[in-house]
């Protein structure tokens, strides 16, 4: 009898240890996008880059599969007629190996590109991106990926921003004309932050950064979403304190995936 009791006690202790080792809900949750799913916020003139200081939009994403071709555009962030960052399959003229991931990004009609080769293992890992845009005359932008800046500059033409006041989208697009061209991201998104001004000083040579694994609000933060709301949430709190709630659109849910939550839970601490 004593022998049996000792086994039961050991089993109970093991169960308790396993439960304690699991990351909390706030570290397990992230935005999982189903086909045609997205989140959005309709705040006119809030997330615009129409000042000399501009804005920085950054986040983390994770892909379960890769876009098959350049024409397969998966939305990371999007604001119609203003700016966007799109994940794509490699452009055939780049001669990149299979398993590579490309990006296109644009602001006010000025476009740039970047890529992660298959050697960089873009599949099934968390990738950081940051897009910096500013200007009310010549348009300036910079793009960081995996902590490295590989593209920055200005348009050749004297472009000017126009205030359209369109909704801000994450992970997909709810505009019929545009959604036929772009698709929802096939993977997960976590930690989207919009900052006032250029958070990273690429013009002064800050070409490599160490982005935090879980963003914190500070005096530069305009909006911040952790996506920790849990399964089937319909709205997502702005943790900056500014009240810019995002709302679910299309077919979408917040889900937890056991294969990656343990790793993500550790790096988000």
Give the CATH number of the domain where residue 217 resides: 2.60.120.200
Residue 16 lies in a domain: no
Among 65-79, 190-204, 213-227, the least confident range: 190-204
d(CA 182, CA 246): 20
pLDDT of 123 above 60? yes
Residue 34 lies in a domain: no
pLDDT digits (tens, 9 = 90+) for 37-66: 899 999 987 888 767 788 999 999 999 999
Number of domains in the chain: 1
| pLDDT mean over 151-164 | 62
Q: Which domain holds residue 189?
A: 40-267
Give me the pLDDT at residue 267, please.
37
Q: Does 177 reside within a domain?
A: yes
140 lies in a domain? yes
Q: Is 35 part of a structural domain of the chain?
A: no
Q: Are 95 and 230 in contact (CB under 8 A)?
A: no
Identify the pLDDT of residue 226: 95
For residue 6, being part of any structural domain is answered with no
CB contact set of 64 (below 8 Å; sequence gap of 6+): 123, 124, 186, 187
Report how far apart, in Å, the C-alpha atoms of 197 and of each of 57, 58, 86, 112, 158 are. 10, 12, 22, 20, 20
User: Is 24 a member of any domain?
Assistant: no
- Euclidean distance between CA atoms 101 and 90, whole angstroms: 6
Residue 222 domain-assigned (yes or no) = yes
Alpha carbon distance 141, 101 (integer Å): 21
């Amino acid at each position: 009898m004593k022998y049996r009791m000792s086994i039961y006690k050991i089993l109970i202790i093991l169960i308790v240890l396993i439960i304690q080792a699991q990351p909390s809900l706030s570290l397990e949750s992230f935005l999982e996008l189903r086909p045609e799913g997205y989140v959005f916020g309709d705040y006119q003139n809030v997330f615009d880059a129409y000042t000399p200081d501009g804005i920085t939009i950054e986040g983390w994403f994770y892909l379960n599969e890769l876009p098959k071709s350049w024409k397969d555009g998966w939305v990371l962030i999007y604001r119609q007629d203003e700016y966007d960052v799109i994940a794509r399959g490699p452009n055939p003229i780049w001669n990149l190996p299979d398993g590579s991931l490309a990006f296109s990004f644009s602001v006010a009609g000025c476009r740039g590109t970047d890529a992660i080769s298959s050697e960089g293992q873009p599949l099934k890992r968390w990738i950081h991106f940051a897009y910096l845009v500013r200007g009310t005359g010549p348009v300036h932008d910079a793009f960081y990926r995996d902590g490295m800046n590989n593209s920055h500059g200005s348009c050749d033409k004297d472009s000017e921003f126009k205030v359209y006041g369109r909704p801000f989208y994450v992970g997909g697009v709810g505009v019929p004309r545009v959604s036929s061209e772009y698709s929802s991201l096939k993977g997960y998104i976590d930690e989207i932050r919009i900052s006032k001004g250029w958070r990273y000083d690429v013009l002064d040579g800050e070409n490599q950064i160490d982005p935090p694994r879980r963003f914190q609000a500070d005096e530069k933060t305009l909006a911040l979403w952790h996506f920790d709301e849990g399964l089937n949430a319909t709205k997502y709190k702005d943790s900056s304190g500014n009240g810019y709630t995002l709302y679910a659109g299309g077919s979408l849910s917040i889900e937890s995936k056991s294969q990656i939550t343990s790793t993500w839970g550790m790096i988000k601490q």
